Amino acid sequence: MSSVYRSLSKKQKTTHTPDATSSETKGVRQRLLALTSRGVTYRHRHLLQDINSLLPHSRKDAKLDTKSQLSQLNELADLYNCNNIMFFEARKAKDLYIWLSKPPNGPTVKFHCQNVHTMEELNFTGNCLRGSRPILSFDKTFDGQAHTRLIKELLTHVFGVPQSSRRVKPFVDHVMGFTVADGKIWIRCYQISETEASKTGSKPTDQENEAPAASTVTAAKEGRGETSISLVEIGPRFVLTPIVILEGSFGGPVIYENKEFVSPNQIRSDLRRTKAGRYNTRAEGTLERKVKKRDLGLRTGEGRREVDELDERVLFA
């Protein structure tokens, strides 16, 4: 009976283990829906292509026609079975706003994207395997405040490639760095470059060359274990400024608002106002000079000049 009990217990363990693993993998599976709005520039479009190539669990969709009814993105995410949304909203063919959301219940974070540099723009020397998983490196500043912790969790879901993805490959050869500085999130991507120490070391001497081939093979094998690891930037690089965090998916009450954020429209209007103010001061100065010369009678044909005893018309009359 004991042998039968042991065999049955082994069968139960083997039958229950795949269900547990499958339930765990189903719980952490993430899929990303990436799309843009109408009016994006070529740089914004290339940035989305670079992000889509780096994230094998993402799905790229056609442009969204509306900018006011963003709740339609929840239906698209449900249609494509995606639980993360990255939406590029372009304004005036200049400004780029990135929405990150967790449909259908939220939350949603709106960013202002600046300093965009794509892979092909700066000719980055690094390279990584297509479909590989990245290592996400977050600055310790993310753990300081509540809204930065929420943003960190959302960025982890969006840029963290799950192991159970369809197009993923079993390699980890690049790092994505997220750093908080000046109230902004700086995103960089680097390749993990490994260089063997035998290639970078000194050349063998004559005595080593005279040694038998077996010793050289063992030395080469011993040298393979010593590698130097360095980081080479791949791209793309961009900076995100958090604007607002909504409780729901593209809606709901505001749970965080960046009071220090100034919209690019306000900056452009202030610059135009300062230029207009300088022009107005110059125009008023020229008008004052003209009025002063007219009152003094220094302009021909304008104003009246008083005739005194020393005037030419009185002396030579």
Q: What is the pLDDT of residue 104?
A: 87
User: From the CB of residue 313, how many other CB atoms can be counted at a distance below 10 Å?
Assistant: 7
Helix spans in the chain (H)? 2-28, 42-54, 72-79, 146-159, 197-200, 206-210, 213-224, 264-296, 312-315
* pLDDT score of 30: 85
- DSSP classification of residue 200: H
Predicted confidence at residue 69, as pLDDT, reads: 84
- Below-70 pLDDT ranges, the chain: 1-28, 197-225, 297, 300-307, 317
The per-residue DSSP string of 4-53 comes to HHHHHHHHHHHHHHHHHHHHHHHHH---EEEEEBTT--HHHHHHHHHHHH
Tens of pLDDT, residue by residue over 56-98, are 888 888 888 888 888 889 899 899 888 999 999 999 888 999 9
Residue type, 203: K
Distance separating alpha carbons of residues 31 and 82, to the nearest angstrom: 5
pLDDT of res. 115: 92
Nearest-angstrom CA–CA distance, 62 and 106: 22
Q: What integer pLDDT is reported at residue 239 of this predicted model?
A: 95
Domains defined along the chain, listed by start? 32-197+224-261 (3.40.50.10480), 262-304 (no CATH)
Q: Is the peptide bond before 236 cis (omega within 30 degrees of 0)?
A: yes
This prediction's pTM: 0.71
pLDDT tens digits along 211-257: 444 333 343 444 455 788 889 999 899 999 999 999 999 988 999 99
